[in-house]
Amino acid sequence: MMTDMTGKIALVTGASRGLGAAVAEALASAGAHVIAVARTSGALEELDDRIQAAGGTATLAPLDITNEESIASLCKSIFDRWGGVDLWVHTAIHAAPLSPVPYVDSKDWAKSVNINVTAAARLIANVEPLLKAKSGTAIHCDDPRTGQKFFGAYAASKSAQRALFASWAAETENANITVKGFKPAPMPTATRARFFPGEDRAPLKHPKEEAARLLQII
């Protein structure tokens, strides 16, 4: 049974493709008004077309989550218009090319830390007041790769991101917000294709299936 999100405001970061897009569509189908955040305007517009075709509604926010001013401005606009958010699902990620640790490119390392760690911390700081305003829930989508060959930059930045959300969850145990983690099953996304080119994609879960499963933990 689909979670009823009628009248709820849901913020999805990393909403243009893959799991993020599937989550945005699922939330809209469940009745939520979705605020979809991603850098790619074209992909967001395609997402909006699908949401509207299914009878849902969305507000598009094409921006770079590493731009602190843009995030702060977005969150202020959300508060001014809706008074907060009931749900935040964070799926945005930078997947650095696989590489032995001694040969990780410095630019890829910096981008991994900037998007996967620094931006996540800034988002938490800016979104928390919106969640508190509506006793909302934050869901962090994880992909543990610690100790796997060639995943050093990706795994390190994801581990740091996981630590941020875990500490935030512990800090808010007695607050009026809930912070949860979600580990999706392997999906045939563009990110996974970069990691595992040539993989048989048939056994992988469709992002829509995992989006439906995510909605069950809200």
The pLDDT tens digits of the residues spanning 4-63 come to 999 999 999 999 999 999 999 999 999 999 999 999 999 999 999 999 999 999 999 999
What is residue 35's three-state secondary structure? strand
Identify the structural domains of the chain with CATH numbers, from first to last. Answer: 9-215 (3.40.50.720)
The 10s digit of each residue's pLDDT in 82-104 is: 999 999 999 999 999 999 999 99
Give the pairing of strands 137-141 and 178-182. Answer: parallel
Kindly give, in sequence order, each residue whose CB lies less than 8 Å from that of residue 46, ignoring residues fewer than 6 positions away. none
- Positive or negative, the CA dihedral 100, 181, 11, 29 is positive
Write down the pLDDT at residue 3: 80
Separation of alpha carbons 23 and 12, rounded Å: 8
Strands of the sheet containing 87-90, edge to edge, are: 57-62, 33-38, 9-13, 87-90, 137-141, 178-182
- The pTM of this model reads 0.95
- How many residues belong to the chain? 218
Residue 178 burial (10 A CB sphere; 0-12, 13-18, 19+): middle
Separation of alpha carbons 191 and 208, rounded Å: 16
Separation of alpha carbons 35 and 212, rounded Å: 18
Write down the pLDDT at residue 2: 58
